[in-house]
Amino acid sequence: MSEEAVTIGWKAPSNIALIKYWGKRANQIPENGSLSITLANSTTTTFLTFNKKEKEDQLISVEYYFHGERQLQFEKKTDLLLNQLSSEIGFLKNYNLIFKSENNFPHSTGIASSASSMAALALCLVSMEEIITHNKLNRDDFFCRASTIARLGSGSASRSVFGGLVSWGLIPSLEQSADEYATPFIIHSTSRLNTIRDIILIVSAKEKSVSSTMGHSLMNHHPYKEGRKAQANENMVKIIEGIRKDNYQAIAEISENEALSLHALLMTSGSDGLLLKPNTIKIIEEIKYFRKTSGLDLFFTIDAGPNIHLIYYDDQRKQVLAFVESTLSQYCEGGKWIDDHIGNGPEQLSPALRN
């Protein structure tokens, strides 16, 4: 890298979907709308360093390092994304790009690491675009553009560009919704959902046998495809109503139904579709029993992996933490779990904080 090299850094969060998107059309367009909670503590930090090539060519020049080691798998995925963007962002082929990325949680285990990593990468690219073109975008346009780019790398990454509750996909009852980018789902300042917390129970930190990309492709010819789209659309209508009325019961029932429906689709997609582990089932059973006996407002959801997200409210934190420590931690790999909560979205680390 020459003395003219510029470094940009962003920290982007993971998210957990309550309404799952599963199955997609060309150009990363979802088969159904989704709704997620942006997390605060489970993040990917990415730094992009770039400088102009000494000799121009028509090739993308990219290196990708993950926790200090060159990661060719991530590099290949990044190269594909950059080549896809190069027709729109012509200057990309004029620069050497080096990405250095770190997660503070296990990747490829069903905790949406691709969402946080691709969101961080997209934010770096939009910041680079502002520097190269000398065109500073307003806040809304900046994050909308980052969400659009993130979507091309990972559909769920489009949601990690925003904080709070976030929707993605064209949803008739949401005026600002779109297939091309995600949008914040506005909730009232007094809503109890502003205090929502998430304990991620790590049943297994091993890389899952079916990637999300593969799982989505298996939906193309799935016999339940149309039924799933109808179910997701109906659940979206119900959960929006539940959120607007602060109806915990509706939110909990729909979220658990969505989680189990996702895994039903996975299990009926192929021989490798069983991602749940015995301890996943045990945790679900324990949560249901504890909820029944304690009367607390908590529920579970699961992404495409074996790990459980236990969703609850901050005013019940003491009781829930005691339950996790005394009961659920025994089903976690090495007793490990992540303490998280609803977050405000990405943070720019360099060259300067964004207003």
For 45-70, what is each residue's pLDDT tens digit?
A: 999 999 999 888 889 999 999 999 99
User: Is-contact 297 312, C-beta < 8 A?
Assistant: yes
Instruction: Give 168-174's long-range contacts (Cβ < 8 A, gap of 24+).
Output: 168/21, 168/30, 168/33, 168/34, 168/36, 169/21, 169/30, 169/32, 169/33, 169/34, 170/33, 171/33, 171/236, 171/240, 173/236, 173/237, 173/240, 174/33, 174/240
The dihedrals phi and psi of 6, each to the nearest 5 degrees, come to -120, 140
| DSSP-derived secondary structure for 17-42 | EEEPP--EEGGGEESS-EEEEEEEEE
Q: Is the pLDDT of residue 220 over 80?
A: no
pLDDT at residue 223, as a whole number = 87
Please report which confidence band the pLDDT of residue 156 belongs to, taking 50, 70 and 90 as the band edges.
very high
Candidates 170, 162, 159, 70; CA nearest to 114 is 159
pLDDT at residue 222, as a whole number = 87
Q: Distance between CA 313 and CA 188 in Å, rounded?
A: 16
Domains of the chain listed by start with CATH number:
6-186 (3.30.230.10), 195-341 (3.30.70.890)
Please report which confidence band the pLDDT of residue 1 belongs to, taking 50, 70 and 90 as the band edges.
very low
Give the pairing type, strands 196-201 and 165-168. unpaired
Helix residue ranges, H only, 184-338:
212-217, 225-244, 248-267, 278-294, 317-326
| Backbone φ/ψ region at 343: left (φ over 0), alpha (ψ -120 to 50), beta | beta
For 126-149, what is each residue's pLDDT tens digit?
A: 999 999 999 999 999 999 999 999
For 78-117, what is each residue's pLDDT tens digit?
A: 999 999 999 999 999 999 999 999 998 877 655 768 899 9
* Model confidence, pTM: 0.93
User: Is-contact 39 16, C-beta < 8 A?
Assistant: yes
Judged by DSSP in three states, 303 sits in coil
Task: Write the CA distances from 113 to 45, 150, 229, 312, integer angstroms.
Answer: 11, 13, 25, 22
What angle do the packed helices 113-133 and 139-153 form, to 10 degrees?
130
pLDDT at residue 109, as a whole number = 58
Q: Distance between CA 245 and CA 242 in Å, rounded?
A: 5
Residues in CB range of 210: below 8 A, 6 or more apart:
218, 266, 269, 270, 272, 273, 275, 304
Total residue length of the chain: 355
pLDDT at residue 209, as a whole number = 67
Cis peptide before 351 (omega within 30 of 0): yes
Q: Is the pLDDT of residue 3 over 60?
A: no
Judged by DSSP in three states, 51 sits in strand
pLDDT at residue 219, as a whole number = 80
- Tell me which H or E stretch contains 123: helix 113-133
